[in-house]
Structure 1
Amino acid sequence: MAFSSRLSIYLIALGAFSLGMASYVTAGLIPLITPAFLVSDAMAAQLVTAFTLAYGLVSPIVVALLPGHQQRTGLILALAIFVVANVASALATSFVTLMAWRALAGVGAGVYLALGIAASAALAPEAQRGNAIAMIMGGMASGTVLGVPLSLLLAEQLGWASAMWLIALLGAISLAGLYYKLPDIPEAPYISLRRKLVILKHPTTMTILAVSLLAAVASLGMYTFISPLIAASTSGSPPTIALYLWVWGVGGILGSFLIGPVVDKSQGSSVVLTIMLILAVSLISLPIAAALHPWLALVPIALWGAVGWALQVPQNNALMHVRKPHGDGNLAVALNESALYLGSAIGAAVGGLMLASAFPLWTLALSAGALAASGALLQLTMHKRSH
């Protein structure tokens, strides 16, 4: 791979790092935002909703409308919007304007990640495409696991706005580097919006997206309830919940980076099938391991984090491969990201309803594992159909 292409992929990954911070830091800033704007915790939480809805619902529409010959411009413009929105968030003087800027940041983030994955795949040789996508997903995972705690520590010392400034600074460094170093991305053929919408009728594409959705409901949905599950499943004095969250996150970073070479050397559909099976087993075994010994629960949690984050590398790679003849791989990736956010919301909502209905907490893990197993079965069906 040429040095300029490799450098560009690293710069895109840095932007993804700042995106990972922005996606999850707001929830941790709520205790600092509520007194600053004199709003309730419930109202402040809507900042997360504004970001995620804009990311998951609006960004695919923007990607669909973007002309094929403007991929480089679109990538840089999306990151510029993301940076400006975070700067404006830090300077916001009213809660309404802050929410509007968080929504705009969500749009910029969603468009940037979709175009960034597509650009990385286009810049890398075919035999190294999985590794390139893994670099971007690893950057986002690192931003979530390492960047969020760092920005929250900064916010505790300097105020909530300092977290936004840090996100904007990292995004701006990536933006400057990409503006000067990102080479031209091969132009995609012109495709009308009507033809792009045909993607929703393509069986293989929709099956890949369905597997991503099921995995997100199971993995990200269950993550919402990891604290009460550990507390209810363990006896004695379990380690602090932060340790479990760190193990999950570090597993995610390792999984995101290490899966790249595996995807490049193996058949993508079999990799996804293996990941979904491991996800199912780790979720189902979590309450059992926690009941046996608090420290034993770290094993399924590490596996869960690793495969949960790793999954999107072969998924995005498969979508880029399937949609290459149609010229709309970036739209497929944007839809895949939407499936993740939608799945996370569904998982959290269903889990909340189960708890409100007095279901034991272990049934959440069992249900999440069953959903992952159904995703594995769907993947197996697609794997057999392709052979």
Structure 2
Amino acid sequence: MSDIAVETLDSASVAEAPSGTAIALVTLALAVGSFGIGTGEFVIMGLLPNVADTFGVTTPQAGHVISAYALGVVIGAPVIAVLAAKMARRTLLLLMMAIFAIGNISSALAPTFESFTILRFITGLPHGAYFGVAALVAASMVPVQRRVRAVGQVMLGLTIATLIGTPIATFLGQLLNWRAAFMMVGSIGIVTMLLIALFLPRDKVEEGASIARELGALRRIQVWLTLGVAAIGFGGMFAIFSYVATATTDVARLGPEMIPVVLALFGIGMNVGNIVGSRLGDISLKGTIGGMMALNIFIMALFALTAANPIMLCLCVFLVGCGFTACPAVQTRLMDVAADAQTLAAASNHSAFNIANAVGAWLGGLVISWGLTAAATGYVGAILSAAGLVVFVISVSLERNGRTA
């Protein structure tokens, strides 16, 4: 890691090294927030028919609220990171969680479909900024050789949300009303605010912090290349995940009752990948990113070739979920290459992931519309992973040649 990046992390740390208990409590508070955001982002997918019935629209029309949230993430992450350049990180985290909590509670009370859609857009705005700043705070509290693990612990809330939070909120929404699910998510946001207020020490604005300095990240080619790795390379994971239910029933010929099982395998894979990737990233940051991108090419091609076999389908879906292994490392690399403009870069990572989600789902749907089966999304994933690997190789090559700005 560059000396500038080390100095930036050190300046963000508290004056005295925090104790292990203090670090654990702060990490817990941040992870609860990521759990709430993950639950809120994905729960709508299982409740679209309920939302459609309430507002008298079709299910495809109701799906526009998913796009509205994603658009909020893409726009909100860089804009908030820049505008809040001179704000203390603790204050910014509390503000982001307040917007998130109010947005979800207001979503639960939305009187019309139009207002619901607007509120989902607003609720998505703090998503990327929260994750970016939370990652910076977590990394600043531990030694340099444990940064990726700290970032992974914050992201663990997101991966656990796919396995536990979303199913519980979906069940609650179907049992009572979809509005109850969003009230639950909003409550998690309030709990997160209380935990951050209690456990995260007050910090000062970094010396020299300014909008101009944050915008400086946009002049760094390594920031753009690393964001490209996320936006392109992880599109394959979303291409497969978006149509995994179709692959389960139409390709593997399993009953609809197996869809939750297959989805759970994907969630388990994400959690395993996050835990393993956090440790591998501290050993070799670049090796973890490049190695996982290369492995994803093989795994996704294998999915395309073997999805008709129920056992292989389940195995490959689990391994595709394990592709999350590279995510903490990519987040940490963004902090490194951004030098003194870390907030914008770290927050923009989640904009890149939402772009990957949109691109992957679109390309996956495109090949299916051509008459191919859902297994063909594996080929889409392999191609996107290969493209992401090429971008990463270019990034590393330029870095070795000293062309970083």
Task: Give the TM-score taking structure 2 as reference length.
Answer: 0.88
Return 80-89 or 282-291, whichever deviates more. Answer: 282-291
Match of 2:60 in 1: 42
Q: Is the 8 A contact 1:205 1:319 kept in 2?
A: yes
Match of 1:268 in 2: 285
Does residue 129 in structure 1 map to residue 147 in structure 2?
A: yes
For the residues of structure 1 that align with 2:91 and 2:276, how far apart are their CA atoms?
Answer: 30
Return 212-221 or 230-239, whichever deviates more. Answer: 230-239
Report the 3-state secondary structure (helix = DSSP H, G, I; strand = E; otherwise coil) of the residue aligned with 1:311: helix
Question: Deviation string for 1:112-138 (max 9, x for gaps)?
Answer: 222111211122222221111001111
Shift of 1:354: 2.3
The amino acid of 1:290's aligned partner reads A
Does residue 102 in structure 1 map to residue 120 in structure 2?
A: yes
For the residues of structure 1 that align with 2:162 and 2:343, how far apart are their CA atoms?
Answer: 23
Report the 3-state secondary structure (helix = DSSP H, G, I; strand = E; otherwise coil) of the residue aligned with 1:114: helix
Shift of 1:186: 5.7
The amino acid of 1:354's aligned partner reads V
Does residue 287 in structure 1 map to residue 304 in structure 2?
A: yes
Does residue 51 in structure 1 map to residue 69 in structure 2?
A: yes
Return 16-25 or 84-93, whichever deviates more. Answer: 84-93
Query: Aligned to 2:333, which of 301, 308, 318?
Result: 318
Instruction: Report matched runs for 1:73-84 at 5 Å.
Output: 73-84=91-102
The amino acid of 1:335's aligned partner reads S
Does residue 246 in structure 1 map to residue 246 in structure 2?
A: no
Match of 2:133 in 1: 115
The amino acid of 2:290's aligned partner reads L
Shift of 1:322: 2.0
The amino acid of 2:380's aligned partner reads S
The amino acid of 1:340's aligned partner reads F
Q: Is the 8 A contact 1:216 1:339 kept in 2?
A: no
Does residue 25 in structure 1 map to residue 43 in structure 2?
A: yes
The amino acid of 1:202's aligned partner reads R
Q: Which runs of 5+ in 1 are unaligned?
A: none
Does residue 15 in structure 1 map to residue 15 in structure 2?
A: no
Shift of 1:167: 0.8
Shift of 1:176: 0.4
Aligned CA distance change for structure 1 residues 37 and 237 (closer, same or farther; 3 Å):
closer
Query: Aligned to 2:315, which of 292, 296, 299?
Result: 299
Report the 3-state secondary structure (helix = DSSP H, G, I; strand = E; otherwise coil) of the residue aligned with 1:189: coil
Query: Aligned to 1:363, which of 368, 371, 376?
Result: 376
For the residues of structure 2 that align with 1:367 and 1:102, how far apart are their CA atoms?
Answer: 29
For the residues of structure 1 that align with 2:247 and 2:253, how far apart are their CA atoms?
Answer: 12
The amino acid of 2:337's aligned partner reads V
Shift of 1:382: 3.2
Shift of 1:241: 2.3
Q: Is the 8 A contact 1:199 1:205 kept in 2?
A: yes
Shift of 1:107: 0.9
Shift of 1:172: 1.2
The amino acid of 1:222's aligned partner reads I
Does residue 217 in structure 1 map to residue 211 in structure 2?
A: no
Query: Aligned to 1:258, which of 273, 276, 292?
Result: 276
Root mean square deviation, CA, Å: 2.0
The number of residue pairs the alignment matches comes to 382
Shift of 1:25: 0.8
Q: Is the 8 A contact 1:273 1:376 kept in 2?
A: yes
Q: Is the 8 A contact 2:82 2:344 kept in 1?
A: yes
Q: Which runs of 5+ in 2 are unaligned?
A: 1-17, 401-405
Instruction: Report matched runs for 1:83-94 at 5 Å.
Output: 83-94=101-112
Shift of 1:18: 0.5
The amino acid of 1:228's aligned partner reads T
Does residue 348 in structure 1 map to residue 366 in structure 2?
A: no
The amino acid of 2:150's aligned partner reads A
Shift of 1:108: 2.4
Task: Give the TM-score taking structure 1 as reference length.
Answer: 0.92
Aligned CA distance change for structure 1 residues 323 and 37 (closer, same or farther; 3 Å):
same
Q: Kindly, what percent of the aligned residue pairs are identical?
A: 23
Report the 3-state secondary structure (helix = DSSP H, G, I; strand = E; otherwise coil) of the residue aligned with 1:240: helix
Query: Aligned to 1:175, which of 166, 179, 193?
Result: 193
For the residues of structure 1 that align with 2:257 and 2:36, how far apart are their CA atoms?
Answer: 30
Match of 1:141 in 2: 159
Shift of 1:235: 5.6
The amino acid of 1:144's aligned partner reads T
Does residue 156 in structure 1 map to residue 171 in structure 2?
A: no
For the residues of structure 1 that align with 2:216 and 2:143, how far apart are their CA atoms?
Answer: 28
Question: Deviation string for 1:183-240 (max 9, x for gaps)?
Answer: 1346333344344333223122221111111122211122112222344443687982
For the residues of structure 2 that align with 1:216 and 1:236, how far apart are their CA atoms?
Answer: 27
The amino acid of 2:310's aligned partner reads P
Question: Deviation string for 1:159-197 (max 9, x for gaps)?
Answer: 111111111122211110111221134633334434433
For the residues of structure 2 that align with 1:117 and 1:278, how far apart are their CA atoms?
Answer: 26
